Structure 1
Amino acid sequence: MNKRIGRFEIIRELGRGAQSVVYLARDPHLQRQVAIKTLHFSRPDPQQDRRLLEEARLVSQLRHPSIVPIFEAGDEQGDLYLVFQYVPGKNLAEYLQQSGALTPAKAIGIMQPILEAISHAHAAGIIHRDLKPSNILIDDDGVPRVMDFGIATRAEGVSNDGGQLVGTPAYMAPEYISQRTSSESSDVFSAGLVLYELLIGQRAVPGSDIQQVMRTIADEDIRLPPEASHTLDEKLAHLLYQALARDPQNRYASAAQMRQALDDYLQPESLTAPADARQSTIEFLLRRMRHKSDFPALSESVGAINRITASENQSIADVSNTILKDFSLTNKILRMVNSVHYRQAGGGTISTVSRAVVVLGLDAVRSIAITVMLFEHLQNKDNANQLKDEFLRANLAGVLAREISSKGATRGDLEQVFICSMFHNLGRLLSQYYFPEESAEIRRVVLQKECSEEAAALQVLGLSFEDLGIGIAETWGFPKLLVNSMHKLPAGSIRRPATAEDRLRMVASLSNELCTVIVDSAPEQQQKELQRIVTRFGDVIQLDEQELRRTVARSFEQVTQLAGTMHINLQQTRLGKQIRVWRGTATVGGPASEARTTKDEAENGLAGTVLSDIAPEAAACERIAEGGYISPVDAEAASEAILMAGIQDVSNALVSEFKVNDVLRIIVETIYRAKGFKRVILCIRDGRSNTMLGRFGFGPDAAEIARRFKFSLVFTPDIFHAALTNGVDILISDTNDPKITTRIPLWFRKAVTAQTFVVFPLCIKGSPLAMIYADREQAGEIVISEKELSLLRTLRNQAVLAVKQSI
């Protein structure tokens, strides 16, 4: 080791990296200790050296208590070196090795000055580009100091490093990995990775395989491990996820904004100065709910679907992709949309989420998806029977509302009525799930004090079910129209609603009051209670008692069918027993009465028979959805079943009025689901530029990957032109096979990491019009049987037909 670097006397080595060594040294001129970082590159590059020296001069002008300043820079025997203030202590990586995961308060306390430092640098036009724990020093007083802005870049415009990587792969932003672009937002992403490490005690993306680490960051959303739900609440998780959003547009706009979000988390306004007792109680209950392991997941999923459907740029692909991430959820939704109620609207069997959205609309599919998710979270609990009762009761309210409003209403109106009525009593459902003891106490208070349910809830919970439901609905991002419909109507006769919004609220209240009558009324009270409802709503709803009874009877049939679809034994629920009472086939109480079952009840699932309109050939799909074992033979059968159902789906669409994009989306989704591809992309020819352009797809980052599919149709001897020019389907089992590796174009290798893919060209009169691409990650993972290939080609031909009909 040299004794000197420039005029500086080396004392000892402090640490080293792949291209650098850090020394403790003494400045003989100013009689002080300094830290010197030497930079050694494998190939001499005078231009790079000049750039780094210019950046070092810029960074040396930064003055902030949380930034380790650069004193000077120079070169020694062709290697650059930077001279920093020496800060006694240890770096954050070493600190975390000793401490492990930190509490949220302590982690945020460290992040705040770090973000202040980054914000100060950004204001001066400087991006760090290598923010990581080893570049953050913790001094002897415990104060974090950011260092090593030596590879920073100017923030004027966007930097582009071409093919050269600058920084540490595990802390790079997705856009830098995929596009070699970095900006202030890239530092925000890196700050999110540092925060993750502070909270969890380990890197967000572990591993020694650099390429795999970078692929994970570029292609997958970073999420907290399941065990973190016990220590981190939902709000902090959302804060972290916003910093780690792969799309820079979805991150915090600046480091300063992220710092403010952390400040707000530690001292939220609602806790320091609550606006009223109701809001304070909602916050208290929300905190309790967050400790339940599945509330954050449920909240995040519901919120995501609500955000998509509320967006001005509503996208069928966005909704479908969100649902398709969960195979089990997908199958349960398709079961539900093919139930008796929805089948009529769909004009036949619906076998893809994309067609469900086209036929039923975004709002309806949102309702179904959230309903299924709620039900999934309500199962397997100690109070499961009570929860299923509440779930069925909510759905009965929606069905009643739809039946009452069906005369003269459009499909869209009926779906709004159903959704608003189903979620009208969301507070009671959530209370039963998250606070079962308090819910039991509420029922006891109602019986003992003969008071209303809302008054009892106010006494036990500190707020009514109505306020609880509205508070959670607002937290989940439900539309304002739906939230407003959750407000109860005042006592007495109901006046004619002045607006469509008032009518939704009125119908939601009517259906839920009728539900209460059905569930709580003894047989001798039925007539009196129905007459009361007719009197209360008679001025606005043209229903007499007899018509109301017929409406109730029709609704019972639909709820019975729903129970079978959701695999609920209706006879074991309180609602199921009350349905028998209203039908006059049993009396309340007594083992003998409960043992009697009519043929009608057996056919409708009331005797414990599970109804399912899943076709026998789809049984394998069900086993996959439920996590059961499936043999290769069954897997092939499942694939064929999905493909055949998709072909029927497309056929139904083609014989009706259709948009070509909707049909193509159904085809692409069918292929995606059938074969378990990682992603499926549809490309369309652009006639003006004579290029093939990716349009949309399914799978991780499908939209981003589709944008990378762009190549000229001027012939070159590669795989894609061979498929398109000759109109042949091509399966590449291994992109690294020496026999074909030269035929894989460079644009493709930059676009995806998949090692196996299949291409189905869409040609008209020998001219390529479009292309369906599907892939898997590892070589050899795509195996297509002769029957599957025939069905896939049928789907491809349907796509050609759809395009022909649209021209």
Structure 2
Amino acid sequence: MSKQVGRFELIRELGRGAQSVVYLARDPQLQRQVAIKTLHFAPSDPQQKQQLLAEARIVSQLRHPSIVPIFEAAEEQGDLYLVFQHVPGRNLAEHLQLSGRLPAEKAIAIMQAILDAVAHAHAAGIIHRDLKPSNILIDDDGVPRVMDFGIASRAEGLASDGAPLSGTPAYMAPEYIAQRTSNERTDVFSAGLVFYELLSGQRAVPGSNIDEVMKRITSTDITLPAELNSALDERLVALLYRALARDPEGRYATAAQMRAALDDYLAPETPVAGVEARQSTIEFLLRRMRHKSDFPALSESVGAINRITSSENQNLAELSNTILKDFSLTNKILRMVNSVHYRQAGGGNISTVSRAIVVLGLDAVRSIAITVMLFEHLQNKDNSNQLKEEFLRAHLAGVLARDIGGKSMARGDIEQAFICSLFHNLGRLLSQYYFPDESAEIRRLAQQKDCSDDLAAQQVLGLSFEDLGVGIAQSWGFPRLIINSMRKLPPGSVRRPANMDDRLRVLAALSNDLCSLVADAGVEQQAKELRRIVARFGEVIDVDEQDLQRTLRKSFEQVSQFAGVLRLNLQQTNFGKQSRAWGGAAGGRALAADLPTQEDGLAGTVLSDVAADGLAGDEAAADGARSTAAAAPLSSEVILMAGIQDVSNALISDFKLNDVLRIILETIYRAKGFKNVILCVRDGRSNAMLGRFGFGPEAPEIAKRFRFSLVFSADIFHAALANGADILISDTRDAKIAPRIPAWFRRAVTAETFVVFPLCVRGNAVAMIYADRQRAGEIVIAKAELSLLRTLRNQAVLAIKQSI
């Protein structure tokens, strides 16, 4: 290595990349230390060098406290070199390696400085093109300093069209990879990736294979890990996801807007003048909605279900666990999947959420769960009549889309069509709940001025129902294709969709147009309006007026079944009256004969509140509890029997072992109101019993802590496994029991009572089921229940034998 570059004396190397090296150097003329970055391109391109020198001269004019200035730019022995101010300290990538993820407040402070620097450069017409942690220095005072503006490093490889890509693949925007578009929004996307790293402590798009990294950026929405997503404020997560929107139009238009949004987050009650008007209004309305205590709960639940179903590793147990946290939701979902529609679709006789997911799929159960949650959220409010009308209208739209699209779509796509159409008018639905006075004014204004609801909403709320719905859907983590379907189609004839995203958008528009026809058109207008819809969508759907009328009548029946599950009397709604005008649902009656009742074991009760039934193995205690058991509902026994039937149905089909075991664990969890139920499996290599999965608020964490050697030790677990004996420990603190509770267990859980069911094959324990409650004495099992629990245990053994 030469000791000198130009007049600068090299001291030592600071770092290097694929085509650049950075040195600490001394300027003998000005007697100061500087940083020199040498750039070597192979093959050499004189035009490229001149372009970079011209960019460097422009960048050297930037003056901002968060920008590392360029002092000089020149050429030495055929290679370019750039002279920067030397900033003592580490770059942000090194800083994050040492510190890990940062607290939200500190991450925001760093991002504010970065965005100020980027916005300053944008104002001068300069796009960074390679914003990443290693190009952000943290000086000795903790101040972020951005470097390398406009000086793009070259990726190792070419794009599909042969044109070179400038920048670092893991920090490129989707439109730049696909179309070479480079503007302020591409820098915003890169800033979002840096913000992701600050909040999570890890790269958003990991990997060393450039093609795979770029494919992920262009084809997959970037989301935080589930545990971090739920830990952060949903407003901050929504802000991050907006910066990372794959569609540039969904992003902040400028770095200044993203900076203003961060300011608004830190001071939520203070309007920020710099925020784009529409976004400012959405955030203002979201703040108003959060003042009602149920909106955050709804947002968290919907967001959690969306994160699970959109995950690359879709997790049956995680979705089941999320739903099982709400007993009311669980029971309504089970009643729904046993209704006529889902029996025809392959369901029926389903008593566990796990089995429902196996039979119907994650998307179908998501559709049901979110629909039920939305209704539960809206009912019994001051303006409940209007809310019910809006909800029934939205639900009909989803059913229509599912029926119309069902002829040509896969099952997962059909459920996407249902959700897209259900939420097409989300803004109007939630406006009616959170802003009833404004919604009444919107209806009055639309009628008075003979204009659309969206135009009236624009005047009253400051934005359209469509924009409000999109903003809320983004905060709930709905995937891009659903959010895209919430956008209205342009007037006139609808063109045939080019891809699935467009098809879902068209289906949502068509089904909601049909709902408007049902809700608003008089008898004398029905035929005319139906012809208009057929003409508008004629190139998209291969149906005539009679086909649509038959579809409407079929959909009315399905909505009627749904209303029956929710105990909603359609005869008292305008929707029911309008459906009768179309010959649907025979007056909107609920098809009660087709719905399971509490006696079927699917309505259930809050099992954790059921009185104790007795104690297995203790005749005196059992006898003393029989009067209580006789007076209490037999919900636990009924649920156990229904679960046994569920497992039997699964065993005679082409089952997956883990699915059957999850159904068994869920049945045990629901029937006896356990806090946690865990499956442990023997690991032959380590000769240890390892926790695998389970149900309960702490189940995932506890499963990880369950690990003990199978070398015999005089404790409760080894006694149960060695003898194949079911053991119930009523109180882990009991003087006779305490010495036999192993230390690893006391470290793993705080439960004071638990039960163990060994799973033995040919006399050897291959697995075990563990279930607990928090307080001593809370687990009591009657003889009939014990027999049913052992039947479930034996079914688990049978499933294991069949899988060996």
TM-score, reference length from structure 1:
0.64
Instruction: Give 1:26-45 correspondences, 5 Å limit.
Output: none
614-623 vs 511-520, which deviates more?
614-623
| Post-superposition CA distance 1:284-326 (Å, at most 9, x none) | 2112112222112211222222222222232112111112122
Structure 1 equivalent of residue 191 of structure 2: none
706-715 vs 505-514, which deviates more?
706-715
- Does residue 1:664 correspond to 2:658, yes or no? no
Q: What is the count of residue pairs matched by the alignment? A: 553
Letter in 2 for 1:580: R
Q: Work out whether residues 682 and 697 of structure 1, in 8 Å CA contact, stay in contact via their aligned partners in 2.
A: yes
Structure 2 equivalent of residue 555 of structure 1: 555
- Does residue 1:574 correspond to 2:590, yes or no? no
Offset at residue 384 of structure 1 (A): 0.5
- How far apart in 1 are the matches of 2:736 and 2:469? 62
- Does residue 1:415 correspond to 2:398, yes or no? no
Structure 2 equivalent of residue 616 of structure 1: 599
Structure 1 equivalent of residue 427 of structure 2: 427
| Post-superposition CA distance 1:543-563 (Å, at most 9, x none) | 101111100010010001110
672-681 vs 286-295, which deviates more?
286-295
Report the aligned-residue RMSD. Answer: 3.4
- How far apart in 2 are the matches of 1:292 and 1:451? 31
Q: Work out whether residues 617 and 637 of structure 1, in 8 Å CA contact, stay in contact via their aligned partners in 2.
A: no
739-748 vs 771-780, which deviates more?
739-748
Q: Work out whether residues 310 and 479 of structure 1, in 8 Å CA contact, stay in contact via their aligned partners in 2.
A: yes
- Does residue 1:540 correspond to 2:540, yes or no? yes
Instruction: Give 1:53-452 correspondences, 5 Å limit.
Output: 235=235, 265-267=265-267, 271-452=271-452
Q: Work out whether residues 299 and 476 of structure 1, in 8 Å CA contact, stay in contact via their aligned partners in 2.
A: yes
The 1:493/1:377 distance shift into structure 2, 3 A limit, reads same
Offset at residue 340 of structure 1 (A): 2.1
The 1:235/1:490 distance shift into structure 2, 3 A limit, reads closer
Aligned equivalent of 2:739, options 719, 742, 745: 742
The 1:636/1:696 distance shift into structure 2, 3 A limit, reads farther
Unpaired segments ≥5 residues, structure 2: 1-91, 101-198, 201-226, 240-259, 614-627
SS in 2 for 1:717: coil
Offset at residue 667 of structure 1 (A): 0.6
Letter in 2 for 1:388: K
| Post-superposition CA distance 1:510-545 (Å, at most 9, x none) | 000000000101001111111111111111101101
| Post-superposition CA distance 1:718-743 (Å, at most 9, x none) | 21112111111111111222222222
Structure 2 equivalent of residue 704 of structure 1: 701
| Post-superposition CA distance 1:198-236 (Å, at most 9, x none) | xxxxxxxxxxxxxxxxxxxxxx99x99xxxxxxxx9749
- How far apart in 1 are the matches of 2:334 and 2:773? 25
Q: Work out whether residues 391 and 429 of structure 2, in 8 Å CA contact, stay in contact via their aligned partners in 1.
A: yes
SS in 2 for 1:772: strand
Letter in 2 for 1:806: S
Unpaired segments ≥5 residues, structure 1: 1-118, 128-187, 190-219, 225-232, 240-259, 586-599
- How far apart in 2 are the matches of 1:572 and 1:318? 38
Structure 2 equivalent of residue 206 of structure 1: none
The 1:709/1:690 distance shift into structure 2, 3 A limit, reads same
Offset at residue 125 of structure 1 (A): 8.4
Structure 2 equivalent of residue 643 of structure 1: 640
Q: Work out whether residues 640 and 667 of structure 2, in 8 Å CA contact, stay in contact via their aligned partners in 1.
A: yes
Structure 2 equivalent of residue 150 of structure 1: none
The 1:329/1:628 distance shift into structure 2, 3 A limit, reads farther
- How far apart in 2 are the matches of 1:123 and 1:449? 57
The 1:625/1:398 distance shift into structure 2, 3 A limit, reads farther
- How far apart in 1 are the matches of 2:343 and 2:463? 40
Offset at residue 635 of structure 1 (A): 4.8
SS in 2 for 1:677: coil
Structure 1 equivalent of residue 762 of structure 2: 765
- How far apart in 1 are the matches of 2:608 and 2:497? 45
- How far apart in 1 are the matches of 2:611 and 2:274? 49
Offset at residue 387 of structure 1 (A): 0.6
Letter in 2 for 1:696: F
Q: Work out whether residues 397 and 421 of structure 1, in 8 Å CA contact, stay in contact via their aligned partners in 2.
A: yes
- How far apart in 2 are the matches of 1:467 and 1:627? 46
The 1:604/1:778 distance shift into structure 2, 3 A limit, reads closer
- How far apart in 2 are the matches of 1:549 and 1:619? 34
Runs of 4+ in 1 over 6 A off after TM superposition: 122-127, 236-239, 260-264, 623-631
Offset at residue 623 of structure 1 (A): 6.9
| Post-superposition CA distance 1:56-108 (Å, at most 9, x none) | xxxxxxxxxxxxxxxxxxxxxxxxxxxxxxxxxxxxxxxxxxxxxxxxxxxxx
The 1:559/1:662 distance shift into structure 2, 3 A limit, reads same
- How far apart in 1 are the matches of 2:716 and 2:777? 17
Q: Work out whether residues 564 and 611 of structure 1, in 8 Å CA contact, stay in contact via their aligned partners in 2.
A: no
- How far apart in 1 are the matches of 2:360 and 2:589? 28
Offset at residue 389 of structure 1 (A): 1.1
Offset at residue 457 of structure 1 (A): 1.6
Letter in 2 for 1:718: D
Q: Work out whether residues 264 and 272 of structure 2, in 8 Å CA contact, stay in contact via their aligned partners in 1.
A: no
The 1:319/1:471 distance shift into structure 2, 3 A limit, reads same
Letter in 2 for 1:527: A
The 1:428/1:602 distance shift into structure 2, 3 A limit, reads closer
SS in 2 for 1:583: coil
Q: Work out whether residues 617 and 638 of structure 1, in 8 Å CA contact, stay in contact via their aligned partners in 2.
A: no
Q: Work out whether residues 601 and 642 of structure 2, in 8 Å CA contact, stay in contact via their aligned partners in 1.
A: no
Letter in 2 for 1:564: G
Aligned equivalent of 1:793, options 780, 784, 790: 790
The 1:572/1:745 distance shift into structure 2, 3 A limit, reads same
- How far apart in 2 are the matches of 1:323 and 1:458? 36
SS in 2 for 1:272: coil
- How far apart in 1 are the matches of 2:309 and 2:689? 30
SS in 2 for 1:508: helix
Q: Work out whether residues 417 and 508 of structure 1, in 8 Å CA contact, stay in contact via their aligned partners in 2.
A: yes
SS in 2 for 1:657: coil
Letter in 1 for 2:385: N
Letter in 1 for 2:730: S
Q: Work out whether residues 308 and 314 of structure 1, in 8 Å CA contact, stay in contact via their aligned partners in 2.
A: yes
- How far apart in 2 are the matches of 1:570 and 1:793? 44
- How far apart in 2 are the matches of 1:409 and 1:359? 18
- How far apart in 1 are the matches of 2:307 and 2:758? 35
Offset at residue 371 of structure 1 (A): 1.4
Structure 2 equivalent of residue 41 of structure 1: none
Structure 1 equivalent of residue 178 of structure 2: none
Letter in 2 for 1:659: K
- How far apart in 2 are the matches of 1:363 and 1:802? 26
Letter in 2 for 1:766: G
The 1:261/1:653 distance shift into structure 2, 3 A limit, reads farther
Structure 2 equivalent of residue 524 of structure 1: 524
SS in 1 for 2:679: strand
SS in 2 for 1:757: strand
Q: Work out whether residues 598 and 604 of structure 2, in 8 Å CA contact, stay in contact via their aligned partners in 1.
A: no
* Identity level (%): 70
Offset at residue 644 of structure 1 (A): 1.1
- How far apart in 1 are the matches of 2:236 and 2:537? 46
Aligned equivalent of 2:683, options 678, 682, 686: 686
